[in-house]
Amino acid sequence: MNEADEKSPVSFEVHVARLPQTGLPVTVEASEDQRRALAGVHELVSVEAYRAELLVTAWKRNGVKIAGRVVADITQNCVVTLEPIKTHIDEAVEGLFLSQGSKLARFEQQGEMVLDADGPDSPELFSGDVIDAGALAEEFFGLAIDPYPRKPGAVLDTSGMEAREETEFQKKLRGLLGKG
């Protein structure tokens, strides 16, 4: 997502030292400036709408769970025609966090780690009593963006390129073999 010292354009820090039993609802509705910054960070033409609805709850003894959805409307350029494409994003958000001082965090660091590609991610460690719920939502937003957007029916004609590349290759091959 961002460099470690940069804040997310939609940063929303949550104090997690004392969460309500029912959890703390968090809504991040991006302003025009924040949407412009998101478009720049994610190399988009524009972000027309961005909203994250999250619930921050206590998890196990010293952990925190953040779950919810991020919904956005974005515009990207087609990789074939370079024309703008409007896309709707509706992505689930889920993250587990462990306090660095917890016993479970020490086990995670010292114990054997078993990775399941289809299973949940391992908890992230945090220090202090603040977690950036907005940055987590932005991570899932970024993962939902199509890296190669293509307009329906857009096709890249490469037939002429293949013939030229093959001819140049054949000339080089003939030169190497001493037949040209």
pTM attached to this predicted model: 0.76
Alpha carbons 143 and 122: distance in angstroms, whole number: 17
Least confident of 75-84, 122-131, 144-153: 122-131
161-179 residue pLDDT tens:
555 555 677 777 777 777 6
Alpha carbons 93 and 90: distance in angstroms, whole number: 10
Domain boundaries, the chain: 13-154
Give the mean model confidence (pLDDT) for residues 119-147: 88
81-122 residue pLDDT tens:
899 999 999 999 999 998 876 655 544 444 555 555 555 567
Alpha carbons 17 and 97: distance in angstroms, whole number: 12
